[in-house]
Amino acid sequence: MQKDGKYIYCIIASDYDFNFGPIGVGGCGDLVTTIGFEGLCMVVSDHSLNKFVVNPENMLAHQKVIEEVMKEFNSILPSRFGVIAATPDEIRNLLNRRYSEFMELLRTFENKVEVNVKCTWKNMDGIYKEIDEENAAFKKIKRDIKKEHDISRQKEKMAEAGKMVEKALKEKKEKEAESMLIEFKKVVFEYKQNKTTGDAMFFNAAFLINSGREKEIDNIMSDLGEKYKDSIDFSYTSPMPIFNFIDLKIFPEKWET
């Protein structure tokens, strides 16, 4: 027998109950509503306590609900994906216990949104050619490999050359990422650099900005896109929930006591 709980999306400050529509995770059309305690609310929907599916669809639904809440409220505290409380009373008790903490965070992040920017080199052959031309030690080891007749030694030098390329690529990524950061620092409140994936991505950053400054970010992205149109692909999403700037741990009541 399945037992229903309350899936948690985020926290808001409101004296009134809200209904955000049938957009809950799970694809069953569950209503997204609020459960409150003295002006502090959790945004929730019904969900089974016994079965939760971790998949891209549910992860996207989680984010989409928070984005809908952002349309109505200028300060939200997003919860991690996949947190389910047992009962409404458990949620009210949690809001009671951590009331001051949550209210202070809501004040801190009022009118703040997140912007995500990723930069990827278009031509990796050109990047490796630059590394080759800029690195004298790499040029030397390539010559040594060609001259080496001992297969074992040749393999050792090839492995060494691979490490040199890896190190040079890492340094090049860091240098170009810093040049990108300079473009944004004048308009952002805070930033966080996240891990890149693959050889071509050299920049993956989240920026915390004041709501209303999105146009300034748009202008920077437009200028960068024109300046580097032949060499860099840009990926840009805004406005986003502040996932990168708050690590809100909300556990079932039995884990907290």
Compute how many other C-beta atoms are within 10 angstroms of the C-beta atom of residue 255. Answer: 8
Query: What residue segments make up the domains of the chain, in order of their start?
Result: 4-109+245-256, 114-240
Of 43, 129, 38, nearest to 85 by C-alpha is 43
Q: How far is CA 230 from the centre of its chain?
A: 27
* pLDDT value at residue 141: 72
* pLDDT value at residue 239: 86
Burial of 53 (0-12, 13-18, 19+ CB in 10 A): exposed
Which tokens go with 167?
A: 């190190």
Phi-psi region of 180 (alpha: psi -120 to 50; beta: other; left: phi over 0): alpha
* pLDDT value at residue 138: 72
* pLDDT value at residue 253: 56
Q: What is the pLDDT along the chain (257 residues), one digit of tens a residue?
A: 355 889 999 999 999 999 999 999 988 889 999 999 999 999 999 988 877 888 999 999 999 999 999 999 999 999 989 899 989 999 999 999 999 999 999 999 999 999 999 999 999 999 988 888 887 777 777 777 777 677 777 788 778 778 888 888 999 999 999 999 999 988 888 999 999 999 999 999 999 999 888 889 999 999 999 999 999 999 989 888 999 998 888 765 554 54
* pLDDT value at residue 132: 82
Of 117, 121, 124, nearest to 235 by C-alpha is 117
CA atoms within 13 A on the CB side of 247: 0
* pLDDT value at residue 203: 96
Backbone angles phi, psi at 235, to 5 degrees: -120, 130
